[in-house]
Amino acid sequence: MPLTMGDDLTTANRDLSDSQVFWNFWEAHNHALKNFCRHMLRRNDHDVDDVMSDVMLKAYHGLSRHLIEHENPKAWLWRVAYHTCLRWLKTNATNSRYVGLIEEIDYETTSSHSSIVEDMLVKHELQDRVLQLIEELPERLRDPFILYIFHGMSYQDIADKFKITQENARKRVQQARDSLRSRMGAFFSEAPGALGRTSAMSPISSSGATSRLRMIEGQVERLLHEHVSHEIEWEVNETREVQVQLPTGVTVGYHILLGQKHPRRDSHIASLRQYIERHPRGWKKHLELAEILFALGRWDEAIGEYRVVTTLQPGHLNAWLQLGLILRLLEREDEAVTVYQESMQHARRPATRHCLLGMIALCRESLREAAQEFKQAVALEPSNIAYLHALGDVYVRAGRLVEALQIFDEILARNPDDVTALVNSHSPLLDTGRWAELERRLTRALTLNPNDALALAELARIRFEHKMLHGPEGRETLRLLKRAARLAPDAANIQWYTALFYLTRGEAARAVSLVRAFLQSHLDSSHAWYYYAFVLRECRDFQPAIEAAAHAYRLDPHNYYIAILACELFLVGKRTADLQSVVEELLAQFPERWDVQTTAGRAIALGLGDEERGCQIAARALQLQPDFPFTWQHYAQLLFDVGRYREAQDAWYQCWERIHADAGTKFFFTFAFSIANCHHRLSEFEQAREWYQRSYDAAMHSPHVTASLYARRAREALAQLGTKE
């Protein structure tokens, strides 16, 4: 029979062995004890289970032989759990200063007011009270204190942030600490039952204690969302390029994020399967196997293991999310939606539910709705980095690169070493011309994770775009590319970066040979066909480029990069019927992407002969991304190409005003040259001369590979204008 705090252990268990008595006792308190440890650790169930195993072993050895004679076994058990959790926090937690603070305030305030062993049962409530009192501190004390305790900032960093002296920063943290110690002492003196304790020493009734406890919990709910673990956790320790086969038979590549590193994945699978065969209900091993299979690209097998985890451990929301992600990436969207809907039953927090609704919106390609849901999740749990990453990824997918960069900047402001944010910044930084900042972030990412193939390739691209093509610098650039290719030999995008290197160096034949050889061994890869078409277009070999793009589009018509390239090449090849089909599909599938609007508008105006409609559709991009210079650039170029020079000039000026202060010089010499062209066509020769000169000066001081071409063209235009005068 189960034991409770008030059981007469001798009477209840006189016919049982010591071991049987212990296991009855353990089963009676296991659930409550696990909740206590979960609250103490503020972590996920993986860590709680590890700690519970330690507690069980210590309790078994300490109680099994003397349980019946023990004066207060339940209190002893909670004391063991409490100290085990503290040791775990000291070893593993990043906010070790907070652990020390809890210990310090806890012992100073409780030891002098009560010697009741049951204090161990309410220590997690004490932590809640500490968090509430931190929130109530004056701002001048609270902010430095939080940065020091929770974020681990040094006194010097805090001083720099608030523009105070280092000594002043230290003093503010100490004043906050003293205030907390004092107010906690007053709290125990004035309301000894406020934390739910009832004893002969406590004049507050049980109902009063419960009422006060509920009040405290309500007051600190918002603060707890900022400082405790979340239902959905963010943990990324490795990245990997994988190739997976879709239900259609097409192979696609993905850059995936992994929570755990498994150095010997292939050999570990067999041992995990043997363990699972002996212990089929051991959900943690199923989870570990699922993660390994996901990392290896064996996603059909991974789906089966994740389904087992969600059955055995339905509250493990990260497993539900991973299962939904795999199904969505495999284009099994209906199944993914079902998974997210089922997981909603286990979500306790509003932020979690908003996140799951955002995932459902992603499955339905409603990027705007997904962004709104993730923003709601961020608003409710601003400290949960997982929601910020989800929001940033949606912005990148929607082409909202300015907003994406703001999100990644916010993540890095909290954690400068967030590798995912460092690497995922590459598209927004590249397209806003912030080359120096991009190089800094990629270099930092590779310091933290040297085996990130995408970061290696992107860093190499920055180098060859800045003429690091020959000699020692060129060899270093090529070394980065070769290392990326070794890490991801089947990733088409990595081969593309290497081909671009050779193209930039003037070795077009070598570039084409490289992507063609890769394609021949990856004929079912839509990405391989896409990059082959891209390189052929750059070499101005349009006919085979058009055929390759058409094949890529047939393999994967839902990829907007492939559809955009096909649209551009069908326009060049005057394949009107194909162009019409792709344009309508683009507009129907991706109405929220600005580059789809400009590409479709250009195709309609120049390829399908409807100039007015084409310009109107291209203008929609300005509503989607009004602050992005590339939006205005594409719109302005279309206006110029259809002969609307005055409107084009206005659009180019809008583009110029939106160049970021840190943008690379490439933007300045290309945009200035386009503005000069507009003035030239409008016979505004003085203004044209001024802007050609700006373009020339910027190009002469630019390390970019195309700078010499623009410098020559600007010089020729200036000479022509000079001759006219």
Q: How sure is the predictor about 196, in pLDDT bands with cuts at 50, 70 and 90? A: very low
Backbone angles phi, psi at 507, to 5 degrees: -105, 70
Per residue in 459-502, pLDDT (tens digit) is: 999 888 888 888 999 999 999 999 999 999 999 999 999 999 99
- Better pLDDT: 575 or 664: 575
pLDDT at 151 over 70: no
| Res. 454: pLDDT tops 70 | yes
Q: What is the pLDDT of residues 366-409, one digit of tens each?
A: 999 999 999 999 988 888 899 999 999 999 999 898 899 999 99
110-135 per-position pLDDT tens digit: 444 334 334 444 544 555 567 677 77
DSSP state of 540: T
Looking at residue 188, the DSSP 8-state letter turns out to be H
Instruction: Give the torsion sign (CA, 255, 260, 263, 264).
Output: negative
Mean pLDDT of 562-574: 95
What is the model's pLDDT at position 99?
53
pLDDT higher than 90, residue 294:
yes
How much is the pLDDT for 64? Answer: 54
Secondary structure of 82-143 as H, E, C letters? HHHHHHHHHHHCCCHHHHHHHHHHHHHHHCCCCCCHHHHHHHHHHHHHHHHHHHHCCHHHHH
Buried b (16+ CB within 10 A) or exposed e, 237-253: ebbbbbbbebeeebbbb
- In angstroms, the CA 316 to CA 303 distance is 15
Mean pLDDT of the chain: 82
- Report percent pLDDT > 70 for the chain: 81
Q: How would residue 518 be classed by pLDDT, with cut points 50, 70 and 90?
A: very high
In whole angstroms, what separates CA 250 from the centre of its chain?
A: 27
What is the pLDDT averaged over residues 182-187?
64
How big is the chain by its Cα radius of gyration, in Å?
Answer: 31
Please tell me whether residue 525 adopts helix, strand or coil conformation. strand
| Lowest-confidence segment of 24-28, 315-319, 428-432 by average pLDDT | 24-28
pLDDT at res. 164: 87
**Range scoring the smallest mean pLDDT among 139-153, 181-195, 197-211:** 197-211
Q: What is the mean pLDDT of residues 30-44?
A: 74
Type of residue numbered 431: D
Query: Where in 579-634 does DSSP place strands (E)?
Result: none
Mean predicted confidence (pLDDT) in 569-590: 94
* pLDDT of 228 over the 50 cut: no
pTM, whole model, 2 decimals?
0.68
What is the distance in angstroms between the CA of the first residue and the CA of the last residue of the chain? 106
Number of H helices, E strands in the chain: 37, 2
Tokens of 238: 């490795």
Q: What is the pLDDT of residue 57?
A: 80
Residue 638 has pLDDT above 80, yes or no: yes
* Candidate ranges 258-272, 310-324, 659-673; pick with highest mean pLDDT: 310-324
Residue 67 confidence (pLDDT): 52
pLDDT for the residue 7: 43
Determine the Cα–Cα distance for residues 562 and 360; give it in Å rounded to an integer. 24
The answer, yes or no, to whether residue 195 has pLDDT greater than 50, is no
Average pLDDT over residues 526-552: 95
> What's the pLDDT at 10?
44
